[in-house]
Structure 1
Amino acid sequence: MQITLTHPADDARAPRKRFFPLGLAFGLLLVLLVSACGQRPGPEVIYPHPATVEGARTVTVYVATTRERAEEPIDGFTPEREDDLSYAEFVISIPPGHDPGEIEWPYSRKARPEEHFTVLKHTALSKAAFDARIGRAARATGNGVAGVFVHGFNVSFQEGLFRMAQLAADTNVSGVPILFSWPSQARLLDYATDKESATFSRDGLTDVLDQVTALSSVRSVMLFGHSMGGWLTMEALRQLSLEDNRRALGKLNVILAAPDIDEDVFAAQVDVIGPLDPPLLVMVSGDDRALGFSRFIQGNRQRAGQLDITDPEVLEMAERKNVALVDISSVSSRDALNHSRYAALAAIYPELDEDTELGSMARRPGARFLDAVGRTANPAATAETRGAAGQ
């Protein structure tokens, strides 16, 4: 994978459009409905299958969730809300032929580890056990890095779990993967309910971030929020700031991918949170169809994940508020909605650390384009940086 970061002044793009045609909205709805008609994994895919195969990798994912525990423990967690946080540990086998960016779904309780992501072990944890295992795992990494992933709208527990495993496998770095799973209904027409459930989970995510950053063996936490999970992430950061929890905020390295947040609300959240170090990094793309539909159903209010970085007002806002906007529209998308490009970019996340060449450019306040060219199936491929990000 070849990566280029350029300043918007180096790229001639059309100005931002502030209208959303009705015909396009119906077209997007049709795409969304067709996409939702495909087979989706049920809870049976997380049933433990204790055998793996030669050449497979294993990833241990720690879970903190505001979902209700299923009546049968083997089923994991439901889409319903629970006042108290629940914790768990999942050991997942990644097949030898895994294609980076993809999840090789079993779609049945008879997973074949040679071909599919396979849950080897599922353990319910107490809060104390969760903290102890995270602390032990962070010490074992040698770098004290943990990663917290907050999924988006229309995501079941098993989908969020396997996505976290995919991201952990594809980053090719040692770190402690933690999934924060909020009670999405995992139904396309439950957007409003999901938004309320994400809001319900603000205190839960705030508590988890406080827990994890309080562990002495955890030196830094990459906090990654996707779509509606970006809204939830920003609300938790806002709460930490209001509580003046500088210790927690000081350990966070925050990335938002396609955040489904009203642009004015996003600006207000940033004002309360204050400048982060490293700066908040936001991945945007103007052709994100899922965000386009979200914009349509919410009064044509621009979403933060669709900000046009060639707009002088957007660029000025980003620089003034210490936010790094990176346009990833040129990255190849494997979904029809162009909403999940972040999954294919997992291999470069370690390079977004502020101490790396790519990270030092991407993390400067302002806006840049990320150009991914020549993507290869070789999972050992590294990100190469070229070009400059002029200020």
Structure 2
Amino acid sequence: MIAGCAVRPSSDVLNPVHLSHYIRSDERAPTRVSVLTATNRAPDVVRGGFGSVWSKGLTYEQYALSVPSERKGTAIMYPAAKPDPERQFVVVERRRLQQDAFVQQTLDSLQPDGSIAIFVHGYNYSYQEALYRIAQIAADAKAPGAPILFSWPSTAAVAGYVADRDAALASRGALASLVISLSASGKVKRIMLFGHSMGGFLVMETVRQLKLQHRDDVIGKLVVMLAAPDIDVDVFQSQLTDIGRMSTPISLLVSKDDGALMASSFIAGERPRVGRLDINDPMINEAATKERLRVIDITAVNASDGLGHDRYASLARFGAQVASFESSRRASAGDVGAFVFDTAGAAVASPLRLASRIVGGQ
């Protein structure tokens, strides 16, 4: 409800702006980030953006955005008629791509270890909101290359929860097609699939679909991370059963005080959600071991939405530590259990403090 009452950006914020007219000589230069996008939203030919109408095919784009260098927190200020690059995020370049050009741009943006990252947004997101959010994350993470946004046709409305659920389910084939096209190159070694909220549900359904299609060659490259996943616990168990063991255990970023997931649980008839797992519950530790999961409590991370649902956006500034944690366990794929994200210790050590660690069999 808080998000629904806020002033939301129109598709006008996708129009490129020449910032040279607005930057003063005494200002610190803003950060420039690149983002690749793939969407199964139908283009809005009138306003020039993408709405909530479903499309059978994917549309690919490439953006460059200017991000203020000195910011507090993860709040995003959208550009005004006369943009202020010292305070506001601004699109400075935008171009449509054909699929082969999109794949080539992705290959040009590979991390040194052959990794690429795909971000899948959650419920109640517009295309432009998701684009600006991934730009914020990319700027804070300071990672080289361009992350990929997969934007599915959310209605971007508080009352659209059921419609968004249907849209997410209908988007499994589109996301699977994107992943397959990128994994085809031998240069791509790992594909990070990062799903937030209902986007986590879409990610799991997509991996399940790939498994049922016997695409183990693709699944073998996937690293799945779900932030505040809006997934029924029993549905998640069913998904895990169908997917089976993955080479890299699935990571869950959870918080038992997530207000948005409390509301989701209420809508679903008080059914518990995966994103609200309590790692202090011995049964959770047992389940993490059995299912080979990494369950990470991020309650200590600041949220800006008043609900504790967007904590994932603040994790980007700890990107180096999180990457170090993940990389140190990559060779030991059986390293699973429950962890606590400790922001107080992030400056001097890994921010992931072991709460409970049980090494499962290979």
Q: TM-score, normalised by structure 2?
A: 0.90
Task: Give the drift of 1:383.
Answer: 5.9
Alpha-carbon offset, residue 104 of structure 1: 3.0
Moved more, 314-323 or 360-369: 360-369
The residue that corresponds to 2:42 in the other structure is 68
**What are the Cα deviations for residues 253-311 of structure 1, in whole angstroms up to 9, with x where unaligned?**
21100000000000110111112222100011110000000000101100010112222
Q: After superposition, where does 1:9-28 map in structure 2 within 5 Å?
A: none
Structure 1 partner of 2:19: 51
Aligned counterparts of 1:121 and 1:278: Cα–Cα separation in 2: 36
Distance (Å, rounded) in 1 between the aligned partners of 2:198 and 2:274: 11
Matched, 1:127 2:99: yes
Q: Which residue of 1 aligns with 2:341?
A: 370
Q: Distance in 1 between matches of 2:126 and 2:137?
A: 17
- Alignment partner, residue 114 of structure 2: 144
Residues of 2 paired with 1:390 and 1:316: CA distance?
A: 10
**Would the alpha carbon gap of residues 277 and 103 (structure 1) be closer, same or farther in structure 2, given more than 3 Å must change?**
farther
Residues 79-131 of structure 1 show CA distances to partners (whole Å, capped at 9, x for unaligned) of 2111111111111111222335332322x343222321110111111112211
- The secondary structure found in structure 1 opposite 2:123 is coil
After TM superposition, give the deviation of residue 75 of structure 1 in Å. Answer: 2.6
Deviation at 1:371, TM superposition (A): 2.4
Residue 283 of structure 1 pairs with residue 253 of structure 2: yes
Query: Hey, what's the Cα distance between the residues in 2 that align with 1:129 and 1:109?
Result: 32
Counterpart of 1:297 (choices 254, 261, 267) is 267
Residue 112 of structure 1 is aligned with which of 60, 78, 84?
84
Partner of 2:70: 97
Contact 2:73/2:304, CA 8 A, preserved across alignment: no
- Unpaired runs of 5+ residues, structure 2, are none
Q: Of 42, 52, 75, which aligns to 1:79?
A: 52
Distance 1:64 1:224 in 2: 14
Matched, 1:39 2:7: yes
Change (3 A) 1:241 1:317: same
Distance in 1 (alpha carbons) for counterparts of 2:162 and 2:326: 40
Equivalent position amino acid for 2:19 in 1: A
Relative to structure 1, the CA distance from residue 111 to residue 280 in structure 2 (aligned partners, 3 Å threshold; closer, same or farther) is same
Query: In the alignment, is residue 337 of structure 1 matched against residue 307 of structure 2?
Result: yes
AA paired with 2:186? Answer: S
User: Could you tell me whether the CA contact under 8 Å between 1:45 and 1:111 is conserved in 2?
Assistant: no
Distance in 1 between the 2:76 and 2:240 partners?
33
What's the Cα RMSD here? 2.3
TM-score scaled by structure 1? 0.83
Give the conservation status (yes or no) of the 8 Å contact 1:230–1:260. Answer: yes
Q: Is the 8 A contact 1:58 1:94 kept in 2?
A: yes
1:157 alignment partner in structure 2: 127
The structure whose RCO (Cα within 8 Å, separation 6+) is larger is 1
What is the CA distance between 1:384 and its match in structure 2? 3.5
Runs of 5+ consecutive residues of structure 1 not aligned to the other structure: 1-31, 376-380
Task: From 162, 169, 180, give the equivalent of 1:199.
Answer: 169
